[in-house]
Amino acid sequence: MVKLDITPVKALIDIPRHIRVCGLKAGTELSLHTETQRGQGIYWRSQAVFVADNEGVVDTSRDAPIRGDYQGVDGMGLIFSQVPDSPQSNVFPDDVTQHLITKIFVYQKETLLAQGEMIQILCTTETERIEVRDNGLVGTLFKPKAKKAYPAIIVLNGSGGGINEPRAALYAAHGYIAFALAYFKAPGLSDYISHTPLEYFVKGIDWLRTHYSPKDDFVALSGQSRGGELVLLLASLFPEKISAVIAFVPGAVVHSAQNAADPKLGREGYAWLLEGKPIPHVWENNKTATWAPFDEGEPPHRHELAIKTALQDSEAVARARIRVEDCRCPILLISAEDDGAWPSQWYSQMVMDTLAQHHYPYIYRWSDHAEAGHTIVFPYLPTTQIVHTHPVSKRLSTQGGNMYANAKANQQAWADVVMFLRDCTNIC
């Protein structure tokens, strides 16, 4: 009898699964098909063909498919190679409290031999989800239900705006109070990043400390893309407020509003304000900057090419540089070699060099990923959507990387984040 084993069947999303088919005849050619409903009526699917070994077994952690949607040996290849029925679909469920259920079917030609499912969890039953609409703050807080103190993390999105509930839910599942704080493109807030006051984030940090009394007063910042720029900027300006920084694909300089700009103010307008005054950015009075490499040619466009023109003006870079040496906390940088949005690898090198030159006394680490693109999140998700329509500007652009490198980056970067946080909280 043919049997499909999936171990574990139900677990957190960052736990790899062992997928194994047994009870076959030696040399049997079979195909594995997957389908996962990730949005309202949208299914993500993959398939791969394998040959059973002499004992009649196919093990995706050991065996490479002979053809299909991915190549090489990877136990989770059937997940990262999934593509959606509809383009530009979200890899996350509409509601993070709902589990991602992947059905796996075993076929020999047209005959269904076995089937099963694996369940990926973002928000566990031991996690409390709390919507926050308080004193102008907009977000969602996730926390373990057990009545004790936990270290805290504020999660900030990038230029797409909104509330990053998936990452916050997963942080909470690992034993943190995680506050996914929106700062634009969310209910009651501006639709644009333009003229965002930095005091808003200080208010969010203070609110979190006042209401939830984090363990050892530990409040870290975790930001992606523009959020990665933002967490470094905040830590440099308000060092006494912040216990650690996790900067996914960050900038090392302050940028203009760019793709998330209010059209009335333009993409060269200011993103950040402090005490009502704009924070200078790299495009300001820049002698070499031009949008032409991004704007011209056939889509998908590569935003990073325009950013690199601005970085040729060393004086503008120096004026806009984030003074990371003023931070007083551990820092983790996560970068991508083939980042299509901006050169996060170059930016991370710039930050590391600055910290080394100033003999920075705190932990600082760099998790860099060869051939990967801008969209580094966590395992185990599909990594097939390289081209992306920006949620604000609606411009079609490439995030860079490839399916394999992005999947590897998701896995390793998240392992580095978990270790970094463990080390930071142990020294508090």
- Mapping DSSP onto H, E and C, the string for 295-335 reads HCCCCCECHHHHHHHHCCCHHHHHHHECCHHHCCCCEEEEE
pLDDT at 195: 98
Would you tell me how many other CB atoms lie within 10 Å of the CB of residue 54? Answer: 7
Tell me the CA end-to-end span of the chain in Å, nearest whole number: 55
In Å, the largest CA–CA distance within the chain is 72
- CA distance to 18, 59, 63, 325, per residue, from 5 (Å): 8, 10, 15, 51
pLDDT at 337: 98
* Digit-coded pLDDT (tens) for 256-277: 999 999 999 999 999 999 999 9
* Amino acid letter, residue 71: Q
Beta strands in 313-393 (DSSP E): 331-336, 364-369, 387-389
pLDDT at 103: 98
* Digit-coded pLDDT (tens) for 109-135: 999 999 999 999 999 999 999 999 999
Q: What is the mean pLDDT of the chain?
A: 97
Angle between helices 199-212 and 226-237 (to 10 degrees): 80
pLDDT band at 280 (very low <50, low <70, confident <90, very high): very high
Which one has a higher pLDDT value, 428 or 259? 259
Would you tell me how many other CB atoms lie within 10 Å of the CB of residue 16? Answer: 16
- Mean pLDDT (whole number) for 155-171: 97
Which residues, 6+ apart, have CB-to-CB distance to 307 below 8 Å?
255, 342, 343
pLDDT at 375: 96
At residue 127, what are phi and psi to the nearest 5 degrees? -110, 135
- Can you tell me the distance from the alpha carbon of 63 to that of 326, in angstroms, rounded to the nearest whole number? 50
What pTM did the predictor assign?
0.97
Residues marked as catalytic = 225, 339, 374
Tokens of 254: 């302050």
Domains of the chain, start order: 3-121 (2.60.40.2240), 127-426 (3.40.50.1820)
Dihedral of CA 32/16/379/403: which sign?
Answer: negative
- Can you tell me the distance from the alpha carbon of 28 to that of 283, in angstroms, rounded to the nearest whole number? 60
SS3 59: strand
Lowest mean pLDDT among 85-94, 96-105, 330-339, 367-376: 85-94
Q: Position of tokens 């060092």? A: 239
pLDDT band at 427 (very low <50, low <70, confident <90, very high): low
Bridge partners of 115, per DSSP, are 105
Which one has a higher pLDDT value, 41 or 399? 399
Given a cut of 90, whether residue 86 has pLDDT beyond it is: no
Given a cut of 60, whether residue 428 has pLDDT beyond it is: no
Bridge partners of 138, per DSSP, are 133, 182
* Digit-coded pLDDT (tens) for 286-338: 999 999 999 998 889 999 999 999 999 999 999 999 999 999 999 999 999 99
Residue 209: which of 259, 265, 150, 158 has the closest Cα? 150
